[in-house]
A and B are shown apart, each in its own frame.
Chain A
């Protein structure tokens, strides 16, 4: 087992230091200005605010490799509220849909277990984008290739942790060896359960044969915008291919019925 990250959303404060650290270290450009002048209005208008709590990017993209989600929960009569945060990124799945789908070997796994895109190999076919069950990997018109979190490939191969984990002020994002992280996660989960958080759960032990960036959620994964039961698409390959072959055989039989010369001599030779 390689290196990975454990994201304990129960102690995330939604400060977005991880988003900033990620942009800084990976030299990712910021979004274009959020305010625009609009004709006939004296003030600038917020153009690309998501309007969804404090969420400022809305999703992961080619330049946003980290995305802090803000989930506002209210009870029926709005007397009680809960504000959930979760810092999302590439999960570096052990069975990675993007890597499986890549036709050029641009997406590879390094010796530390992280999944990276080789920018000089990628041709921009975009097939990895729908192949990711988590909607992580994204295309950039600017480079004509796909981009995603590399688990700070350069840092972790030089004895440093990831930039986001380094910047996290509460220890919500932790970088380290997978067995240690899992032990820590199990301990924290037991603690939370003992405190009465019955819905707390760990996301990423079994999904996609294990996620190297895994989470402790306080509610169901779907609340945090994660698929409840992600299926790595390529695991359906056999069934899909078999159905295609069956159809080809059926069409072959239909054609034989339609085009075979009934009872006559075989004609192809004659024409030669």
Chain B
């Protein structure tokens, strides 16, 4: 008998999936913002698609989060302390600050999305345009990106700030790992939609691919560091079903294979659209499996 803590029994299809979808949305939003702030005209596609992805994805997440609560009808207690009658935030609790950040991020991704619709001419008589367009477009991209980073990364910090052996032993790396994964899957989501819509802009793909490559290498380094740091507490990731999921799904299919495919496509000049679709799907799959295996293995 030694270390005894209890697992929260979070359902993977709610909590781990939320960690993933929130990360993809925030990653895409951040890339869209940067493309808008610093990119040229040819990068308008990237930012437009990014903002169109970010909002629908982040709209799914509250449903997942609320569904996992023991008392879903009380979800608003996260923002309002009912016994005190005041708004509430617990600065020590990533779950509390994260809930607020998710709300802020959701609001800004809505603004960017609406702006996008107007820019695309799909929303001509925007009823509230005069309200939200008072804030310059770039201002919401900046604030939204910062909130987005928080949404992508706090989930890792949330896991680290527990006493469960695996999550505590991987401290302080999960936040960083989830940020890298969010950025990489965000880029993959944009690339996938572009390839899907046959918007085969070589420069856009080049940029997304370059970014994806960097983040995937960072992710790989963080994973290796994490396993070393965790030592014997990494056992749930080294034996059993989650080991297969983690090493096979995330590391091989989600990182190594896409890196290899990028390299192969570069050398052989294979059909860009098809390669992008394949690698982007693999990266997106790897990101989902990363969250699922880490969240579930920590509860074993």
Contact = CB atoms under 8 A, between A and B. Distances in A.
Among B6, B81, B183, find the residue whose CB has the most chain A CB atoms closer than 10 A: B6
Q: Label chain B's interface by main secondary structure.
A: helix
Given A102-B90, A126-B10, A233-B163, A264 B172 contact: no
A250 B218 contact: yes
B269 to A, nearest CB: 21
Interface string B216-230: 001000100000000
Given A103-B95, A267-B40, A130 B162 contact: yes
A240 B137 CA distance: 32
Interface stretch (A27-35, A138-146, A152-160, A164-172): A138-146
Interface stretch (A5-13, A180-188, A193-201, A252-260): A252-260
A121 B7 contact: no
A235 to B, nearest CB: 9
A132 interface: yes
Given A123-B71, A259-B35, A227 B3 contact: yes
A213 interface: no
A243 interface: yes
Interface string A254-272: 1111111100111110111
B39 A267 contact: yes
B168 interface: yes
Given A123-B74, A267-B41, 15 more contacts: A104-B81, A126-B9, A126-B68, A127-B8, A131-B162, A133-B163, A222-B2, A227-B3, A240-B161, A255-B30, A255-B211, A256-B38, A259-B39, A259-B43, A259-B211
A259 B212 CA distance: 12
Contact of B78 (A104, A141, A226, A261): A104
Given A259-B211, A268-B36, A268-B138, A222 B1 contact: yes
B83 interface: yes
B230 to A, nearest CB: 14
A94 interface: no
B187 to A, nearest CB: 9
13 contacts: A59-B4, A126-B68, A130-B8, A133-B163, A139-B8, A146-B70, A233-B162, A240-B161, A244-B157, A247-B176, A251-B180, A254-B215, A258-B208
Contacts of B37: 268
Interface in B228-278: none
A127 B164 CA distance: 11
Nearest to B218: A250
B6 A130 contact: yes
Nearest to B182: A251
A1 interface: no
B5 A134 contact: yes
B200 interface: no
Contacts of B36: 268
A240 to B, nearest CB: 4
A104 B158 CA distance: 15
Contacts of A122: 70-71, 74
Interface of B: 1-10, 30-31, 34-44, 46, 68-71, 74-75, 77-78, 81-84, 88, 90, 92-93, 95-96, 99, 119, 137-138, 149, 153-154, 156-158, 160-164, 167-168, 171-177, 179-180, 183, 207-208, 210-211, 214-215, 218, 222, 298-299
B207 A241 contact: no
A104 B75 CA distance: 9
A139 B173 CA distance: 28
A122 B72 CA distance: 10
A85 B208 CA distance: 62
Given A126-B10, A255-B183, A105 B70 contact: no
B78 A260 contact: no
Interface string A7-29: 00000000000000000000000
Given A103-B93, A124-B69, A246-B176, A255 B34 contact: yes
Given A101-B95, A123-B71, A123-B75, A236 B172 contact: yes
Nearest to B91: A237
B75 A102 contact: no
Nearest to B77: A104
Contact of A240 (B3, B77, B83, B160): B160
Contacts of A125: 68-70, 78, 95
A35 to B, nearest CB: 27
A223 interface: yes
A2 interface: no
A268 to B, nearest CB: 5
Contact of A261 (B6, B10, B40, B211): B40
A125 B10 CA distance: 9
Nearest to B32: A259
A137 B68 CA distance: 18
Nearest to A129: B8
Contacts of A135: 4-6, 163
